[in-house]
Structure 1
């Protein structure tokens, strides 16, 4: 009995696996109906047979006739048991004998395929010969078979067509395709089949376990692509570890690629668009220290990435690309913001032109690793006469120049000093917005780093601005690596208040989604002292926060700035 009460089974799949007391499971019924069907076919071939039964046996008859799996049978069950077969219903059953396993599911493997007899055009029976060559011979013969060698293409195969430059497959092919290609090549008298190998490790779950449907730890790649993009997954595989090592798939690490690689690069483009009021032609001619530094980083990146790719190494250039984006965003753009807003046209356009040049050239470098993102960057930054796609552009030809490595090292030393200064500020709870008089760093002999050379003053200027200090000195007698002069004069306190006012105005501008083209009126409430201090720094605030007018009024309801004994309430009006 199979038409059991629905409460006896928890699912249709369970009906295949167990039966009611003194009854049959669906698997039993399917086998019984399949046996009967194939027996009828054997005895009454080409005859019309009328089969009369109940809905469930006919459902399983249909499943056996079409060699359906249990899941497939359940999928058609509703139509077969419902509308398709009704009381006194009639339906033609199309049936062609197929190789099948014991449960009448399609199976083209031995021994089932051996039981199946084929017919040729002359109606002669065809059976499989018992001798079978190792199937890996077929894959190993690929370099020759694909060109129908030696009957055709002999000149190509015996020339540049063999061996291949490189092969890429998973690590389990070490004893499979990697081996058989060489083996067949040697047997053919042509030697090794390939020059280089990119061997890929398997992708495991977040805990390092093999993915399995039965365990339930399989990740749907299409779902991840839809969520994070195909470029994010591709770059994750390049940058997480060496190609041949297993990769533990944790969504957090993909999200980290988005946050640390994709978003910063897209933010750079957005920042460029914000301040590029007109089409600024890209160039690499600026003499400003930050521009020269990022161009040196770019040239070395292009050169090293080319060398790595020429030797089929992927992990190292992927990490270098990631680090370049970090430096480009967190140091170059951060330190160049004021230049991009400068009233000095030459200063502003040098920063914008360099940024555009770097984005264009960098899109070519990252194209093999993130083809879609690089195309997006390239199309956004290209000039009208540039080729239509980054994938049609030539690889950056510029080689590293004399002084590039020293310049990069110089900036790295300066940034380490800056990190020490910021750590010292944080330890004393001194916000960077509050200017300080002096910071001292410990060096051998109290001298500036020798690698700085002619760039010393330019680097010191960048450090002073980043640390917000008036003076930097180097001493040999310090007990710590960095020492702050925390004495705050009235002028330093006023400057700190001024910076806080600028921050609040900028935050209010962001809330209103204003652009650099939009100027504002600042309406504020404060006493005589507040008006005095604001007056001393009014021009600087106007320039930095794009303020066209200040108005002092009473009863202003808005953001409150309370710092160093001064209290302001302010709001902005477009």
Structure 2
């Protein structure tokens, strides 16, 4: 009850029988919040050592909305000052207000309120958490847009899930790993673990989460993509486990599911934080810089391909790069043939040549010989067949019968390379007639109409 109605209410004292009424001198109710660090320990009547000895005062950090600058943040400081105490908290995480996607305050009357329970049901709590960690700095207002939740789901969680699916599909098979890629991704794991720890120590939560995002992106879009079926299952499992540990404070449910799905025992939340770093020895700390240079040169070469209108699936003969650049950028590439091979594979080049005489950083030979053109046709066919395998929901180990109807010129290319084509798409036979099929494709190749179909063998 509130004034003035409460002033008409009287109670009888159970001890003396006198009339009791409201005390008119009431302290600001915010005083309770400011006294919290002491009141919760019944200080100074009990637990004096906990407060005076520093075990429970000051707090390591407090987190509240930005409106609490004149509320709880202030009253904690005011009460501490009145008691001639030091600062009641060492760090403050101030959170910005939640707005709708146009920047308006959410209001039922405006009809722009988002039901948080619907978002939790649709995307899961971890996606919502990660979105708020990374959308902008903590103290900035948040313009909530459901489309951003979808982006967060796809950018991190689905990318990481697909990396796990790749591990579960190919990780237990015996392959010949690409050593330099394994060394690099372990280096990336360790560097990310160090950066995440350093950011969390200073309460830079968003920066820490973005470091994890970058590692997940590198794992999927570079390590796995460049390793393909030569991936090291041992290395991939090690990195996925490390990511699960790093993600545990941010996305506890997803991290736990990933950790246990990798065959680890106990809970990820019971692991030692420092154990997320790999103990494996890497070749050189310079490897991260060298790999970044490989990727930079690859992006320059791919841009040249685009200018020339040549698809990436079309092999080319040669890429020349300048070995002597400022700050010795390409020095590591000279020493490491594996890095040059990675660059060649990424740009789909037969050979990378180091040449100081070229103008600019790179020079791409775009001349198409008949041999290169035929190889490009074959790769395009492989891509189409792999798409049909996916449409037919085949498993990687499923053998198929491949059916085609092709113009005479393309038929010659397939005839000359049928063994390579069958190996690439796991086909038992290639037939050049229409039969019963599980999936088909009518399209054009080299501006000529083609029909391709598949059925399980």
Question: Do both share a fold (TM > 0.5)?
Answer: yes
Which residue number corresponds to residue 390 of structure 1?
A: 268
2:177–2:227 contact (8 Å) kept in structure 1: no
Partner of 2:187: 296
Query: Could you list the per-position Cα deviations for residues 435-488 of structure 1 after superposition, in whole angstroms to 9, with x for gaps in the alignment?
Result: 111233456569994342576311111111111111223445555554432221
- Give the secondary structure class of the aligned counterpart of 1:149: coil
Matched residue, 1:15? none
CA contact (8 A) 1:364 1:393 kept: yes
Q: Corresponding residue for 1:117? A: 10
Match of 2:302 among 410, 422, 426: 422
Deviations, residues 319-339 of structure 1 (Å, cap 9, x unaligned):
111222211111111112131
What are structure 1's unaligned runs of at least 5 residues?
A: 1-107, 341-350
Deviation at residue 503 of structure 1 after TM alignment:
0.9
Q: Is the 8 A contact 1:437 1:471 kept in 2?
A: yes
1:571 aligns with 2:453: yes
C-alpha spacing 1:218/1:556, structure 2 compared with 1 (3 Å): closer
Q: In 2, are the aligned partners of 1:500 and 1:561 still within 8 Å (CA)?
A: no
CA contact (8 A) 1:361 1:396 kept: no
User: Is the 1:117–1:126 Cα contact (8 Å) retained in structure 2?
Assistant: yes
Aligned alpha-carbon RMSD (Å): 3.0
**What secondary structure, in the 3-state scheme, does the structure 2 residue paired with 1:194 have?**
coil
Q: Which string of whole-angstrom CA distances, capped at 9 and with x for unpartnered residues, describes residues 194-215 of structure 1? A: 2111111111222223223333
User: Secondary structure of 2:26's partner?
Assistant: coil
Shift of the 495–447 alpha-carbon distance from structure 1 to 2, 3 Å rule, reads farther
Which residue number corresponds to residue 126 of structure 2? Answer: 231
The yes-or-no answer on 1:240 pairing with 2:135 is yes
- The superposition leaves residues 51-76 of structure 1 with CA deviations (integer Å, 9 ceiling, x where unpaired) of xxxxxxxxxxxxxxxxxxxxxxxxxx
Structure 2: distance between partners of 1:287 and 1:466? 14
Larger radius of gyration: 1
Cα separation, 1, equivalents of 2:71 and 2:441: 70
Match of 2:286 among 406, 409, 412: 406
SS in 1 for 2:90: strand
C-alpha distance 138-445 of structure 1, shift in aligned 2 (>3 A) = closer
What do residues 261-288 of structure 1 show as CA deviations (whole Å, max 9, x unaligned)?
Answer: 111111111222222457x9xxxx9771
Name the CA distance, whole Å, in 1 between partners of 2:359 and 2:300. 14
Tell me how far apart the structure 2 counterparts of residues 423 and 450 of structure 1 sit (CA, whole Å): 19
1:327-406 map, 5 Å = 327-340=218-231, 351-383=232-264, 386-387=265-266, 389-397=267-275, 398=277, 405-406=285-286
What does residue range 99-248 of structure 1 map to in structure 2 within 5 Å?
Answer: 108-119=1-12, 121=14, 125-159=19-53, 160-248=55-143
Structure 1 residues 299 and 477, CA gap change in structure 2 (3 angstroms): same
Alpha-carbon distance in 1 for matches of 2:134, 2:391: 37
Query: Which residue is equivalent to 1:542?
Result: 422
Say which SS state the counterpart of residue 147 (structure 1) adopts. coil
Partner-residue secondary structure (3-state), 2:91: strand
- For residue 43 of structure 2, give the secondary structure of its aligned residue in structure 1: coil
Q: Are the aligned partners of 1:444 and 1:476 in contact in 2 as well (CA < 8 Å)?
A: yes
Q: CA deviation at 1:391?
A: 1.0
Q: By how many angstroms is 1:162 displaced?
A: 1.4
Q: For 1:221 and 1:415, how far apart are their aligned partners in 2?
A: 41
Stretch of structure 1 that moved more, 562-571 or 299-308: 562-571
Q: 1:433 aligns with which of 289, 293, 313?
A: 313
Judged with a 3 Å threshold, the aligned counterparts in structure 2 of structure 1 residues 447 and 124 are, in CA distance, closer, same or farther, namely closer
CA contact (8 A) 1:169 1:200 kept: yes
- Matches of 2:141 and 2:332, distance apart in 1: 43
Residues 447, 474 of structure 1: 8 Å contact kept? no
Q: 1:451 to 1:299 in 2, by over 3 A?
A: farther
What secondary structure does 2:197 align onto? helix
Deviations 1:332-382 (A, max 9, x none): 111121314xxxxxxxxxx22211111111110111111121112111113
Counterpart of 1:347?
none
Contact 2:189 2:278 in 1 (8 A): no
Relative to structure 1, the CA distance from residue 128 to residue 310 in structure 2 (aligned partners, 3 Å threshold; closer, same or farther) is: same
Contact 1:529 1:566 in 2 (8 A): no
2:343 aligned residue: 463
Alpha-carbon separation, structure 1, partners of 2:359 and 2:316: 20
Contact 1:524 1:556 in 2 (8 A): no
Q: Deviations over 1:68-120 (max 9, x none)?
A: xxxxxxxxxxxxxxxxxxxxxxxxxxxxxxxxxxxxxxxx3333333333455
CA contact (8 A) 2:333 2:340 kept: no
Aligned equivalents of 1:405, 1:112: Cα separation in 2: 74
Partners in 1 of 2:447 and 2:100 — Cα distance?
A: 57
Q: Deviations over 1:488-518 (max 9, x none)?
A: 1111111011101211111111011111221
- 1:293-314 per-residue CA deviation (whole Å, 9 max, x = no partner) reads 1111110111111111112111
1:433–1:496 contact (8 Å) kept in structure 2: yes
Q: Does 1:472 align with 2:341?
A: no
